[in-house]
Amino acid sequence: MRPLPLPLALTARLAPVAVLATAGWALSSGPDPTTPAAKDETPPDTVHRSASAPATEAVAKTYATAPAPCESLAGKTVTSLVPGAKAAGKEIPSTDTAVRRTCSWNALKGYDYRWLDVSFEVMASDEAAVKSYKERVADRSGGGEVPGLGDAAYSVVNLTTEDGQQTREGTVLVRAANALVMITYNGSDFESKKAPSSETVNKGAIKAAKEAVAALEEG
């Protein structure tokens, strides 16, 4: 088998830090601080609370921390989506692993190249997650909803060509309560210079998303 040089765009993706940026995660969207309730200095015998007066309470979060991303997929799922990759994967360094974590798998088997990212991001509230989810979906036009996955899910597939080499990438974004799950899955064939079909990429990304959401829910 003759060695083939990787296209510049895919060579750049082999650096995990670059891939994290490519996956489009807005790492600045961390949890917001919760405002503590004000202390009531009124003596107990003079307190008269109205039934309609709202009490300031900390927001209850369904998910407090991000799960271990490299353990979120079954080994057979990894090897089927990324032939030749080690099932253990490689976790990308994060500034706050309680809030956001990402694992990557990639391999070149023969002339077929595959890349898979699984990312989790936990936010301060459901409202913050809804806002971020809508913004990210708006940035990825051309896709559609994925029914029955989390509280909301969206999938999109795009094809790019550089120096005659095609790469097809699928993205699945899921909101589950106050957490976001994002899957990025792409592939190329360096012999034919073609990319895998949209159906193959989309089904693979959705399969990974379902397992990742299940891992999040299991804690």
pLDDT of 29 strictly over 60: no
Q: What's the confidence (pLDDT) of residue 23?
A: 39
User: What confidence tier does 48 reach under pLDDT thresholds 50, 70, 90?
Assistant: very low
Within 10 Å of residue 32's Cβ, how many Cβ atoms?
A: 12
Q: How large is the average pLDDT for residues 104-118?
A: 97
Give pLDDT tens digits for 172-219.
999 999 999 999 999 999 999 999 999 999 999 999 999 999 999 997
Q: Answer whether residue 137 is part of any domain.
A: yes
Q: What's the confidence (pLDDT) of residue 20?
A: 34
Number of domains in the chain: 1
Highest mean pLDDT pick, 16-30, 51-65, 205-219: 205-219
- Predicted TM-score (pTM) of this structure: 0.74
Q: Answer whether residue 2 is part of any domain.
A: no
Q: Answer whether residue 184 is part of any domain.
A: yes
Q: Answer whether residue 101 is part of any domain.
A: yes
Q: Answer whether residue 111 is part of any domain.
A: yes
Rounded to the nearest 5 percent, the helix, strand and coil shares of the chain are 25, 25, 45
Containing structural domain, residue 174 = 65-218
Of the candidates 59, 19, 10, the one whose C-alpha atom is nearest the C-alpha of residue 182 is 19
Task: Name the residue with higher pLDDT: 10 or 22.
Answer: 10
